[in-house]
Amino acid sequence: MRRFALFAWIAAGMQLCVMLSAIAADADLPRYKPPPRGAPSGRVALGTRTIVPPPQIWALAPNHIGLTTREQPSLYWYATTSGTARVALVSVGAQGMKMLLNESVAASTSPRIMRIDLARYGIRLQPGIEYQWTVALESDPRQRSQRAAIERIAANPELTKRLDAAPRPRHAAVYAEAGIWYDAIASLGELIEQSPSDTSLRIQRAALLDQVGLKEAAAADRQREQ
C-alpha cells in the first residue's frame, strides 16, 4: 500500500512538473494586443459571383489595420500550393485608391510563408495613411487573399527604450505587446531566415498567427518545427 502511494505521489509530481513547464513555455510566447483605435478596415473578403474554392492563400495580417514603424516593411503571406503569386498594394485617401504595386513573385515549390520587401521596389509608406494589399495565385484568380490593411506610425520613446533593452529574439514580443503587428511578424521572419533550424522562432510566429485567426499558417509553422 505504501509502495502504491509512493508511485502515485511520484506520478503526481511528474505531472505537475509537466504542467509548470507548459505554463512557463506559454508565458514566453509573444502576445498580440490590437491597438485601441477602433479602425474598421482590415482583412476584408473580396466579393465575387463565381463559386469560390477553399482558400489556398492568406495575407498574414490581422482583421483590422495592422501597424508598422518601418518606412519600407515586408508583407508576408502563406500559400498551401506552389505557383507564382501576384501582390497588389494601394494607398487609400480622400481622392480614392492609388495603385503602388502590382508585382509577380515566384513562389516556392512547397507550401510555406513568403514575403515581399517593399524596399526592393522603392516603395515608402507615409505616416498616417492607410494602405491595403492583397496576394493572389496567378494560376487561379479565384485564389486571392482577403484584403489586408497596413499603416505606418512613429515609434514612441517607450517602445524604443524597450527594444534597446531586449535581446533581438524578444523584439517580436515587444512589438506584439505594443500592437505593432507587421514589425512583430517581420522580426520573427528575419530571424527564421537567418536560423531556419531554430524551432522556437516558428513556435513564436505560430502563436501570433493563431491569435489573429490564421490557423492554417500557424499549423504549417508548427509542422515545420516538428
Residue 115 lies in a domain: yes
pLDDT tens, position by position, 45-65: 544 444 455 678 899 999 999
221, with CB counted inside 10 A (0-12, 13-18, 19+), is buried
pLDDT tens, position by position, 5-48: 444 454 444 453 333 333 334 558 999 999 986 554 555 554 44
Contact indicator for 46, 134 with CB cutoff of 8 Å: yes
Residue 133 lies in a domain: yes
Domain containing 170: what range?
Answer: 57-225
pLDDT tens, position by position, 173-209: 999 999 999 999 999 999 999 999 999 999 999 999 9
**CATH number (domain holding residue 77):** 2.60.40.2550
Residue 67 lies in a domain: yes
Tell me the CA end-to-end span of the chain in Å, nearest whole number.
41
